[in-house]
Structure 1
Amino acid sequence: MAHSFVAYIDEAGDDGLTGKYRSAGRGGGASHWLTIGASVWRQSRDLDAVQWAKAILAQMPQQKRSKPLHFKELDHPQRVMAIDGICGKPIRCIAVIANKPIIPDGMYPAKNQLYHYMCRYLIERISWLCRDLRPTVPEGDGRVKIVFSRRRAMNYDDFQSYMQHMRDLADPEIKIHWPVIDVLGIEAFDHGARFGLQLADLAVSGLTAALEPDFYGNVEPRFARMLKPTVYNRNGNYMSYGTKLVPPLDKLQLNTQQQEFTAIFGGG
């Protein structure tokens, strides 16, 4: 039987923990934040999502229409238009966002360890969302098809094994609702190969823009405000569901601009 849901997963920022982070007015360095996020919709709407993406591309300048949608390659007006193009659609967004500079040295020494850790939190929330929505989505078998934007440094067979290991542990601290997760069905494609991944990139990058400083040290909360209606929440609680911060909010030192993110999602 077909899946009930599909979740497209992308990232914003990088997982470098070098200690050499970007600073205002200077190029180079690692991002301050790493976001792993997903855009989720009914599997039956997957072809609709192709049309959502094409409608955004149709509004781009001619030279960009043949290229995949990529947030970082758009100017500000194009970003506003593209984010507006996914708002109001039957999409739910989830973002798990780590503040890397305050992560203790040596905490994630292995390759992809931070990425896997963040994915655990993300897939927990994807599983809760699909469990919550199942009563209103009768088609399919209740499970979610998980599709990653391919990372060159990532072995997805290893990630499936990591997921199976977590499932077999039966650890109460791992709160994934396993009946909805199709571990063996996890796939990865290049960014341009799936319109769903391009829409996920817009959402994930748009939310991250409220926290990650640009070249001039500023952040942009407008996209987070626009995307709020699409972000997963339970009874108005966004910060435990659709926008999890790592470490928790009380451990972070957000500047005045960044605090707008928590004002939007009710975290402070």
Structure 2
Amino acid sequence: MHAFNVYIDESGDEGFQFRDNNRGSSRWFVLSAAITRAETDLETVKLVDRVRAQLGKAERADLHFRKLNHGQRLPYLAEIADASLRTVSVLVHKPSLQSDAYSEKGLLYNYATRLLLERVSWLCRDARRDAQHKAKLVFSNRSNMSYAELGAYLARLRQRRDVRIDWSAVDCQNVAIFEHSKRMGLQIADAVASAVWSGVNPNGYGFTEPRYAEMLRRTMYRHRGARFGYGLKVLPAEIITNNPPPGAEWLQGADWV
């Protein structure tokens, strides 16, 4: 049986072709998970229906956070912040990485998935009521994603001793991949990833918007009171403690670390 549903989506791209004025590839790549208890999943994800109605969207309309204006995003995030769910986000500052180490197609996404699943597994392990129950993983479909490739990658991770995923807490044998529009939980994960991404990736005028992430702070996975490294995992971690990129200074705040 599944104790949790874990909806996973991304924001930003995996490229390393950076240009001036924040053109070209995005500086940051964010992979996020929205985690619900299976027994209350439907009740939780129906927040998307309430947001559609509030925004005057058609029934079953596909909500994409980045297609909403600022005024529409706020009530959406307010609903998520009040929901019975938890979130985990992995933030990758690509200019701080060696691009040749991640040049292989899908490698950056895979590594972010590993870091995400580590934290998701810890959360689900500690929150489950039955040690036999696991979390079901639901990924948003990507143009270059396949069940076979994802399954093969997870199988390789299981063979590595340096991977800290608690395999007893996540079901990697029955991974699901759906179009964003087919699962309301994936639309929530999209909003979480895009909200966090907006807090670190400058817009065309050079400004970030950390307010979105701050609205979701209550939902972020905490371990012994700490969000940093758990609900928010930054790669490489030292850029926040040493010299955060412009616009990401808010991550140094005591409420985050």
Q: Same fold (TM over 0.5)?
A: yes
Aligned amino acid, residue 6 of structure 2: A
Residue 49 (structure 2) pairs with residue 54 (structure 1)? yes
Residue 95 (structure 2) pairs with residue 95 (structure 1)? no
Provide Cα deviations, 1:7-49, integer angstroms capped at 9, x if missing partner. Answer: 000001011122x24625xxx5111100111000101122113
Aligned partners of 2:254 and 2:43: how far apart in 1?
Answer: 29
Superposed displacement of residue 155, structure 1 = 2.2
What do you get for the CA RMSD once the two structures are aligned?
1.8
Aligned amino acid, residue 107 of structure 2: Q
Superposed displacement of residue 266, structure 1 = 3.0
SS class of match (1:68): coil
Residue 161 (structure 2) pairs with residue 161 (structure 1)? no
Provide Cα deviations, 1:52-86, integer angstroms capped at 9, x if missing partner. Answer: 11011111134x65521111000001111100011
Superposed displacement of residue 103, structure 1 = 1.3
The question of whether the paired residues in 2 share the 8 Å contact of 1:33 and 1:97 is answered with: yes
| 1:254 corresponding residue in structure 2 | 244
State how 1:118-137 maps to structure 2 within 5 Å.
Answer: 118-134=112-128, 137=129
SS class of match (1:178): coil
Between Structure 1 and Structure 2, which shows a larger proportion of strand residues? Answer: 2
Alignment partner of 1:39 out of 8, 19, 34: 34
The question of whether the paired residues in 2 share the 8 Å contact of 1:239 and 1:265 is answered with: no
SS class of match (1:198): helix
Aligned partners of 1:212 and 1:84: how far apart in 2?
Answer: 21
Aligned amino acid, residue 185 of structure 2: G
Residue 197 (structure 2) pairs with residue 208 (structure 1)? yes
Alignment partner of 2:212 out of 211, 223, 228: 223
SS class of match (2:21): coil
Provide Cα deviations, 1:194-244, integer angstroms capped at 9, x if missing partner. Answer: 000001111111122110111111001111111110000111111111100
The question of whether the paired residues in 1 share the 8 Å contact of 2:65 and 2:191 is answered with: yes
| 1:115 corresponding residue in structure 2 | 109
Aligned partners of 2:62 and 2:153: how far apart in 1?
Answer: 30
Deviating more after overlay: 251-260 vs 173-182: 251-260
SS class of match (2:165): coil
| 1:80 corresponding residue in structure 2 | 74
State how 1:135-214 maps to structure 2 within 5 Å.
Answer: 137-138=129-130, 141-169=132-160, 171=161, 173-214=162-203
Superposed displacement of residue 141, structure 1 = 4.0
Aligned partners of 2:19 and 2:227: how far apart in 1?
Answer: 28
| 2:253 corresponding residue in structure 1 | 263
Aligned amino acid, residue 143 of structure 1: K
Superposed displacement of residue 260, structure 1 = 1.1
Percent identity reads 33
Aligned residues: 256
Residue 221 (structure 2) pairs with residue 232 (structure 1)? yes
Q: 1:116 to 1:38 in 2, by over 3 A?
A: same
Aligned partners of 1:43 and 1:250: how far apart in 2?
Answer: 36
Superposed displacement of residue 256, structure 1 = 5.5
The question of whether the paired residues in 2 share the 8 Å contact of 1:210 and 1:261 is answered with: no
Structure 2, gaps ≥5 residues long: none
Normalising to structure 1: TM-score of the pair? 0.90
SS class of match (1:185): strand
